[in-house]
Chain A
Amino acid sequence: MSVSLTAPCTMGLDSVLSRRDRTPSIVSDTAAPLGDMQERERAAWMAAAQGGDRRAYERVLASSVPLIRSVARRQGVVVDLLDDVVQETLLTVHRVRHTYDPTRSYDAWLAALAGRRAIDALRSQGRRGSREVHDEHAYDTHADIDDATAATEREQEARRLREAIAALPPGQREAVEQLGLKEQSLAEASAQTGRQTGALKVNLHRAMKALRSRFHGEP
C-alpha cells in the first residue's frame, strides 16, 4: 500500500521542523496524489471519530492496519509479532485519539505511535529471547516428545498449571483466563470483565510473573 505522509494542511514552524522526520519509505512519489487523497480521507474519518462517529472510526482503524504493519516491518519486527504490534497500536490509538489534530497529518501521527509500539515489541522479544530456547534447538533436544511417558508428564504439568492458575488472586486469574486461555483480545476481555485494558495487562503481567516464579523459581 502506498500512502503519502505529507500533511494535508501543516502549520509553518512544525512542518519545517518535521520535514526531515517524517516516515519516508512508505511514500511513493508516483502514487502521491492518490496517497494524499487517502490520507485526507483518514484525517477526516479520525476527526469524525473524535466526535463519536463509530462508522468513521472503524474505517480509519481498518485503513490504519497496513500502515502500522509497514512501520513495524521497517523497524525490523518479525512477521510473527506484526499482529501484536497492530493490536497494541490500535489500542494506543483508541487511548490517545484526543491528541490527534485534524489540521495535521494523520499518517505521521499514526506512524509515531506504531513506531513506539514496534520498539516495545522488539524490546520484549529481546527479553524473551534471552530466556527461551529456540524452536529448532528444542525440537532436537526433545525429539521424543510424543511417547507415552512424555504424554503423562504433560498431563501432570497441565494439571499443576491449572491448579496454579486457580490459586491466583481473582483479578490475575481472570486476566489469564480471558487473555491467555480464551485468547481474547484486550478490548474484548475488557468489554467482558468490565475492567480497564491497562488493569488487565498489569494483572496478566503479575500472574505470569507469579506462575514463572512458582514453576521456574524466577523472581
Chain B
Amino acid sequence: MTEPRLPESLIQSLGDQLTPVRRLPPPWLRTLGWLLVVAVIAVGLFAHYGVSHMVQRWVAEPDIAVAGVGAVMTAVCAAWAAFSLGVPGRSWRWTLLPLPWLLVWVGASGLGCMHDWLGPSAHVAKFNEASDCLVFIISFSVPLSALLIWLLRRAYPLRPVLAAIMVGLASAAASAALLEICHAFAVAATDLLTHAMAVGIVVVLNALMGGRLLQPALK
C-alpha cells in the first residue's frame, strides 16, 4: 500500500484530531448510580405499602427473607458485571460474580415453596395473583434495563450479548426484590414458576435486543 496508509501518517492524523476526553467512571461507581435509582423506587414502595407487612412475612417465613437478600445481591453483582464488561480488557469471568447469589435466591425461593407444600396454612398464590407478579417484574425490569443500557452507552462492551444478559439479570433480580415489598402471599409453586418465567423473559429479551443496542458502533 502507498505512503498515506502507514501507521505514522494515521498516528499524525489522529494526533491532529485529539481532544481531551472525560474518563468513564469506574464500574462500581456506575453500579452505585443505578442502585440509587432502585433504592428510590424501593423507598416509594415502602412509603405506599409500609415496612411492617414485609417484616411480618419475613418473620413468618425466613426463607423469603433469604430469597430477598439473594435477589438484591444478584442485582448488585449482575449490574457490576455488566458495567465491568463494558470496559475493554476486563475479564468475562465477571459474569460468574452473580451466580452464587442467584443460587441463594432460587434455592431459598424453592425451599419456601416446599415448606408451603408440607404445611399449607398460609395464603398461597392463585393463578391470577401469580400473573400479577409476572406483570410487576416485567414492567419494572423494562425501565431498569433501559437505564442500565443508557448508562452503558459510553462504554465499549466487547461481548455485548453477555453484557446484555447481565443487564437483564440485574434488572429482573432488582424487580423481584422490589416485589418483595408488596408481595401479598406465600411463595407457592405457581408463584415461583411465574417469577422464574418473568426473570427468564427479561434476560432473553435483553440478550436479543440489548446485544444489538450495546454492539460496538465501530463497523
Q: What interface size band does chain A fall in?
A: 35 or more
Give complex CA distance A20, B86 in Å: 19
**Do B158 and A112 have beta carbons less than 8 Å apart?**
yes
Q: Which residues of B contact A182 (CB under 8 A)?
A: 4
Name the distance in Å between A59's Cβ and chain B's nearest Cβ. Answer: 9
**1/0 contact string of B1-21 vs chain A (CB within 8 Å):** 110111111111111111111
**Do B16 and A191 have beta carbons less than 8 Å apart?**
yes
Q: Which residues of A contact B21 (CB under 8 A)?
A: 50, 97-98
**Do A188 and B7 have beta carbons less than 8 Å apart?**
no
**Do A61 and B88 have beta carbons less than 8 Å apart?**
no
Known: A96-B88, A109-B88, A198-B218. A188 touches B4 (CB 8 A): yes
Name the distance in Å between A133's Cβ and chain B's nearest Cβ. Answer: 21
**Do A99 and B155 have beta carbons less than 8 Å apart?**
yes
Give complex CA distance A52, B4 in Å: 24
Nearest-CB residue, chain B, relative to A186: B10
Q: Which residues of B contact A111 (CB under 8 A)?
A: 89
Selected from B14, B84, B216, the residue in CB contact (under 8 A) with A14 is B84
**Do A86 and B94 have beta carbons less than 8 Å apart?**
no
Name the distance in Å between A25's Cβ and chain B's nearest Cβ. Answer: 16
Nearest-CB residue, chain B, relative to A179: B5
Majority secondary structure, B binding face: loop
Give complex CA distance A116, B156 in Å: 11
Interface assignment of B42: CB less than 8 Å from any CB of chain A: no
Q: Which residues of A contact B90 (CB under 8 A)?
A: 14, 17-18
Interface assignment of A184: CB less than 8 Å from any CB of chain B: yes
**Do A54 and B89 have beta carbons less than 8 Å apart?**
no
**1/0 contact string of B121-161 vs chain A (CB within 8 Å):** 00000000000000000000000000000000011101000
Contact segment of B22-30, B62-70, B185-193: B22-30
**Do B5 and A83 have beta carbons less than 8 Å apart?**
yes
Nearest-CB residue, chain A, relative to B3: A183
Known: A14-B84, A108-B89. A187 touches B17 (CB 8 A): yes
Give complex CA distance A135, B24 in Å: 46
**Do B5 and A87 have beta carbons less than 8 Å apart?**
yes
Selected from B5, B9, B15, B219, the residue in CB contact (under 8 A) with A201 is B219
Number of B interface residues in the complex (CB < 8 A): 44
Interface assignment of B117: CB less than 8 Å from any CB of chain A: no
**Do A98 and B24 have beta carbons less than 8 Å apart?**
yes
Give complex CA distance A97, B14 in Å: 12
Give complex CA distance A108, B90 in Å: 8
Can you give 28 A-B contacts (C-beta < 8 A)?
A14-B84, A18-B89, A21-B93, A49-B18, A50-B20, A50-B23, A52-B18, A58-B15, A61-B7, A61-B11, A61-B15, A83-B7, A87-B7, A94-B17, A96-B88, A99-B24, A99-B86, A109-B87, A109-B89, A112-B158, A113-B88, A116-B216, A182-B4, A183-B2, A184-B5, A185-B9, A187-B10, A188-B13
Interface residues of A (CB under 8 A from B): 14, 17-18, 20-21, 49-52, 54, 57-58, 61-62, 65, 83, 86-87, 90-92, 94-101, 104-105, 108-113, 116, 120, 182-185, 187-188, 190-191, 198, 201
Q: Which 7 residue pairs are nearest across A and B when measured between Cβ atoms?
A: A187-B13, A52-B20, A109-B89, A98-B21, A18-B91, A112-B88, A108-B89
Interface residues of B (CB under 8 A from A): 1-2, 4-24, 26, 84, 86-94, 96-97, 154-156, 158, 216-219
In the complex, besides A17-B90, A57-B14, A111-B89, 12 extra interface pairs with C-beta distance below 8 angstroms are A14-B90, A14-B94, A17-B94, A18-B89, A18-B93, A21-B93, A51-B20, A65-B7, A86-B7, A87-B10, A185-B5, A188-B13
